[in-house]
């Protein structure tokens, strides 16, 4: 029997079906206090975000992670999806986890070993696993370094497309193209378009360096189903500006 879609995955698919695209707010527990994270999530909820992702490449673990998730859950009704960089990024008070493999890593730990160590915890904690391929594009930022990624060159969309298609054939239901948090430039729109064409109904997430509603809308027009913003929201706390442009009418 294949893994059934859980509540959170269905909610994301519903946001895409209803509005044309969804928005995820990324909160890194290492960047502020748990109380501040709770207020950020509250502001994001008011702005219309669909879910909160919690994770980070360095330091998003232990009590800080647990309390950050607790504050977010207390302040909002939004689902919390863990975005772990290793097994240490799991905690039991979240709703779901992007159960992801960093396909273009050179290191087995990020492709399958943390996943094997984490799977029993996901089961025990009752987290909803959402199977996802994670593909890092230049410049890649901290996550590219920490994840030991062989970065996909920005001018080689066909390489991103090849990894994405392999994810689809392996049965993953989401593919995440990541330029790295705080990237100077987001994933190129041409790459997003080529990847989505091959993915069909596999959901495409795009994140890293998306700093305006216009850029978010361009990504959706090219084929992104879900947009992730972290840094932009941390700075402005203005999620509405990212969400307002994500409508069906801009889909090609
Ligand atoms: C990082 O894609 C996310 O994993 C978010 O990136 O912080 O640049 O929005 P930003």
Encoded tokens for 167: 């994810």
- Residue 228 Cα to ligand 1 midpoint, Å, equals 6
Task: Kindly report, residue by residue over 53-105, the tens digit of the pLDDT.
Answer: 999 989 899 999 999 999 999 999 999 999 999 999 999 999 999 999 999 99
- Residue 119 Cα to ligand 1 midpoint, Å, equals 25
201 exposed, middle or buried (CB, 10 Å; 0-12, 13-18, 19+)? exposed
Whole-number Å distance between alpha carbons of 194 and 56: 28
Task: Kindly report, residue by residue over 13-30, the tens digit of the pLDDT.
Answer: 999 999 999 999 999 999
Q: Does the C-beta of 185 come closer than 6 Å to ligand 1?
A: no
pLDDT at 168 over 70: yes
Q: Where are the chain's structural domains?
A: 7-251
Q: Does the C-beta of 208 come closer than 6 Å to ligand 1?
A: yes
Ligand 1, pocket-test mutation among 49, 84, 140, 231, most atoms within 8 A of CB: 231
Encoded tokens for 172: 């993953």
pLDDT at 225 over 60: yes
Is the separation of the CB atoms in 193 and 164 below 8 Å?
Answer: no
3-class secondary structure, 97:
strand
7-251: CATH topology is TIM Barrel (3.20.20)
pLDDT at 245 over 90: no
């Amino acid at each position: 029997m294949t893994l059934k879609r859980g509540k959170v995955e269905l909610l994301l698919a519903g946001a895409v079906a209803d509005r044309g695209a969804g928005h995820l707010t990324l909160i890194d527990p290492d960047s502020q206090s748990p109380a501040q994270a709770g207020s950020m999530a509250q502001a994001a909820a008011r702005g219309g975000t669909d879910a909160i992702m919690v994770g980070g490449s360095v330091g998003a673990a232990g009590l800080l992670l647990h309390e950050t998730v607790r504050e977010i859950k207390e302040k909002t009704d939004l689902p919390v999806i863990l975005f772990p960089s290793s097994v240490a990024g799991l905690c039991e008070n979240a709703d779901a986890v992007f159960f992801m493999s960093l396909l273009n890593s050179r290191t087995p730990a990020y492709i399958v070993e943390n996943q094997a160590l984490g799977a029993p915890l996901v089961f025990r904690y009752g987290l909803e696993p959402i199977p996802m391929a994670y593909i890092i594009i230049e410049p890649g930022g901290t996550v590219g370094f920490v994840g030991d990624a062989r970065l996909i060159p920005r001018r080689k969309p066909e390489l991103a497309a090849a990894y994405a298609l392999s994810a689809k054939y392996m049965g993953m239901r989401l593919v995440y193209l990541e330029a790295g948090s705080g990237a100077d430039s987001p994933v190129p729109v041409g790459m997003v378009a080529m990847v989505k064409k091959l993915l069909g109904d596999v959901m495409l997430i795009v994140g890293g360096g998306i700093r305006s509603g216009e850029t978010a809308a361009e990504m959706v027009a090219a084929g992104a189903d879900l947009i992730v913003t972290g840094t932009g929201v941390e700075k402005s706390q203005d999620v509405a500006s990212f969400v307002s442009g994500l409508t069906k009418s801009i889909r090609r």
